[in-house]
A = this chain, B = another copy of it.
Amino acid sequence: MARPPRRAAGQRLALPLLCLLFQGATALLFAVFVRYNRETDAALWHWGNHSNADNEFYFRYPSFQDVHAMVFVGFGFLMVFLQRYGFSSVGFTFLLASFALQWATLVQGFLHTFHGGHIHVGVESLINADFCAGAILISFGAVLGKTGPAQLLLMALWEVVLFSVNEFVLLSLLGVRDAGGSMTIHTFGAYFGLFLSRVLYRSQLEKSRQRQGSVYHSDLFAMIGTIFLWIFWPSFNSAPTALGDGQHRTALNTYYSLTASTLSTFALSALVGGDGRLDMVHIQNAALAGGVVVGTSSEMMLTPFGALAAGFLAGTVSVLGYKFFTPVLESRFKVQDTCGVHNLHGMPGLLGAFLGVLVTGLATHEAYGDGLQSVFPLIAKGQRSAMSQAMYQLFGLFVTLVFASVGGSLGGLLLKLPFLDFPTDSQCFEDQIHWEVPGEQESEVQEPLRGEETDTQA
Q: Which of A95, A201, A216, A436 has the most CB of B within 10 A?
A: A216
B279→A443 contact, CB < 8 A: no
Q: Which of A62, A149, A267, A303 has the most CB of B within 10 A?
A: A267
State whether A449 and B422 are in contact (beta carbons under 8 Å apart), knowing that A94-B283, A245-B39, A248-B123 are contacts in the complex. no
Query: For residues 209 through 248 of chain A, which have their beta carbon under 8 Å from a beta carbon of chain B?
Result: 210-211, 213-221, 223-224, 227-228, 230-232, 234-235, 243-248
A27→B98 contact, CB < 8 A: no
Query: For residues 58 through 86 of chain A, which have their beta carbon under 8 Å from a beta carbon of chain B?
Result: 58-59, 61-63, 65-66, 68-69, 72-73, 76-77, 80, 83-84, 86
Q: Contact check: which of B16, B252, B259 meets A99 at CB < 8 Å?
A: B259
Main secondary structure of the interface of A (DSSP, over half): helix
A12→B276 contact, CB < 8 A: yes
| 10 A-B pairs closest in CB distance | A43-B369, A42-B371, A12-B276, A2-B448, A5-B451, A52-B244, A45-B245, A46-B370, A19-B267, A83-B442
State whether A266 and B90 are in contact (beta carbons under 8 Å apart), knowing that A201-B458, A245-B40, A442-B211 are contacts in the complex. no
State whether A445 and B1 are in contact (beta carbons under 8 Å apart), knowing that A266-B149, A438-B214 are contacts in the complex. yes
Q: Give 19 CB contacts A-B under 8 Å.
A: A4-B449, A5-B454, A19-B267, A23-B263, A30-B308, A36-B303, A42-B368, A57-B247, A62-B62, A65-B66, A73-B228, A122-B248, A149-B266, A211-B442, A215-B442, A216-B438, A278-B435, A426-B450, A433-B449
B55→A244 contact, CB < 8 A: yes
Q: Which residues of B contact A426 (CB under 8 A)?
A: 449-450, 453
Q: Contact check: which of B3, B227, B425, B448 meets A76 at CB < 8 Å?
A: B227
State whether A72 and B126 are in contact (beta carbons under 8 Å apart), knowing that A40-B252, A422-B457 are contacts in the complex. no
A259→B15 contact, CB < 8 A: no
Number of residues of chain A lying within 8 A (CB) of chain B: 177
Return the chain B residue nearest A244 by Cβ: B52
State whether A72 and B2 are in contact (beta carbons under 8 Å apart), knowing that A40-B248, A216-B86, A374-B42 are contacts in the complex. no
Minimum C-beta distance from A442 to chain B (A): 4
